Structure 1
Amino acid sequence: MRLFLASYRFGLHVDRFVDLVGGPGPIAVIANAADAWPARARDSAVVSDVVPLRRLGFLPSEVDLRHYVDRPAALAETLSGFRSVWVRGGNTFVLRAQLARSGADDVLRDLLRRDALAYAGYSAGACVTAPSLVGVDSGDDPGEVTPTCGVPPRWDGLGLIDFSIVPHCVGPDTPPDAQNPGDDAARMIEACRGAGVRYRALTDDQAIVVDAEATALL
C-alpha cells in the first residue's frame, strides 16, 4: 500500500510524492470534498489542483464520484486506468459520504491492497484515511452532508492507517505532538485525546508516507 498524506498539497515534499506514485502519468483527481461548495468555487478548486499536477508532468482527470453512485464496478473500471489518485481537501464528512455512496471506499481499499494504485490526499483527503472521524467536526461541518449527499454523516474513516491525522497545525518545525496547533487543530487534538484516539499532527509543510508497510513522517 502506498499513501502520501499531507496537510496541504505536497507540503515541502513534492519529490517524495512524485517518487511514491511512480513518476508522472495519469492521475485521477477526486474533488468531492468540495461538493457542498457553490459550483463556481468547486470548479475553481479542481483547477487549483489540476494545474500544479500538470506542471509536474502528470495527466490529471477528475473522477467525480457523484457520477458513480451505486456503480462501484464502473468506478473500479475507471480507476483501473490510472496509476494514482489525488484526493483534495474540503469537507471530510462530505467526502466520506460520497466515497460510500459510490462504493469508492471498497474500490480504493482493493486497489491499494493490490498495489494497483497509489493514494495521495491532503487535508480532508488525508483525514478520511483514518479509522475514525472523531474530532474532524472541529473544522468540518457534518451538517453539510445530508443537504449535499442525501444521506446522514458517517463517523468511520477508510481505515487505511491506524491513527487520525490533524492537519493545518501552525508553526515551523511543529513536532508530532503539535504544541502550537491552530484553533481547529487544537480542538481536534482535544477531541482525539478525550476519546482516546491516536493521532499525528501535521503542519502544512509536513507529510506522512506509507510505503512497503513502513510509515514515515516527513
Structure 2
Amino acid sequence: MKYYLSSYKFGNRVDKLIEMLPQGAKVGHINNSKDWTTANPKIRNNHLKEEMEFINSLGFISEHLDLKKYFGEENKLRNKIASLDGIWICGGNTFVLRQAMKLSGFDNIFTELQKRADFFYGGYSAGVCILSDSLKYIEFVDDPNDFPYKEIKETIWEGLNLFDYGILPHYDSDHPESEEIEKEVKRCIDNKWLFKTMRDGEVFIIE
C-alpha cells in the first residue's frame, strides 16, 4: 500500500499526491473522525464537501465512504473498498474514528489492504494518528471518552499498528491543537515512548 500522510489537510506535496494515483482513480473519503457527539453537522458537511471537491480537482473521483453504513457489515465494506483505488481519511477525533473502524470491520480490512501494492491510503491528523500502535500518545489532545455510537462505550486504545511509535501532528504550527501537542511531546519523552512529530504542511510519503 502507498501512503500519503499529512499533518494538516493535503499538505505541501500535492504534486507528489497527483503522481501516486492514476487520473480518474476512485477515492473513498472517510469522514467519521468528525462524528464526535458535539460536532456541528453543517460544519462537518462543509468540510467533507470541500475536501471531496479538492480531490476531484486533482483529477480523481471522490465519494463519501461513511463507515456508519457498514456497522456489522464487514464483508459489504470489504467489497466496497475493493472497488476503490484508495481512501482519504480526514482529521478529527482519532478515538471516534477508531470506534467506527472497529464497528465496520475496517481494522480487519486494513490488514488485508497492506498486501495491495497498488492501493492508496491518504489522510491527515486523525487519519495519520490512527496508524500508530496505540492512541495513548494523543490522550490529551483528542477526547478518548466521546462515544457517539451506541454500540461502543469503552475506549479503544489500540491503533492500526502500522507504526510502533506515535505520530504527533500540528507540532510547532499555527494550529489550535499545537499547544496540546507540545504537552504530548513532553509526556512521550518523560515516558520514553517513541514518537515522531509533524509540522503542518509536512507530509510523510511511503511507497
Query: TM-score of the superposition, structure 1-length normalised?
Result: 0.86
CA drift at 1:7: 0.5
Select the residue among 155, 158, 165 that pairs with 2:157.
Answer: 155
2:66 pairs with 1:64: yes
Runs of 4+ aligned structure 1 residues displaced above 6 Å come to: none
Partner of 1:196 in structure 2?
192
* Structure 2 residue runs without a partner (length 5+): none
Q: Give secondary structure in 2 for the equivalent of 1:197.
A: coil
Counterpart CA distance in 2 for 1:97 and 1:69 is 10
Counterpart CA distance in 2 for 1:195 and 1:126 is 22
Counterpart CA distance in 2 for 1:20 and 1:154 is 32
Select the residue among 111, 114, 117 that pairs with 1:115.
Answer: 117
Q: Which amino acid aligns with 1:193?
A: I
- RMSD of aligned alpha carbons: 1.8
Q: Give secondary structure in 2 for the equivalent of 1:135.
A: helix
2:2 pairs with 1:2: yes
**C-alpha distance 72-15 of structure 1, shift in aligned 2 (>3 A):** same
Q: Which amino acid aligns with 1:82?
A: L
Select the residue among 192, 202, 206 that pairs with 1:206.
Answer: 202
Counterpart CA distance in 2 for 1:85 and 1:159 is 18
CA drift at 1:194: 3.0
* Higher deviation after alignment, 189-198 or 96-105: 189-198
Partner of 1:48 in structure 2?
50
Contact 1:35 1:94 in 2 (8 A): yes
Q: Give secondary structure in 2 for the equivalent of 1:141.
A: coil
**Mapping 1:128-147, distance limit 5 Å:** 128-144=130-146, 146-147=147-148
**Mapping 1:4-83, distance limit 5 Å:** 4-36=4-36, 37-83=39-85
Select the residue among 154, 172, 177 that pairs with 1:170.
Answer: 172
Q: Give secondary structure in 2 for the equivalent of 1:132.
A: coil
CA drift at 1:23: 4.6
**C-alpha distance 208-147 of structure 1, shift in aligned 2 (>3 A):** same
* Higher deviation after alignment, 71-80 or 183-192: 183-192
Aligned pairs, number: 202
Q: Which amino acid aligns with 1:104?
A: F
CA drift at 1:192: 2.0
Q: Which amino acid aligns with 1:34?
A: K
CA drift at 1:111: 1.5
Q: Give secondary structure in 2 for the equivalent of 1:28.
A: strand
CA drift at 1:115: 2.5
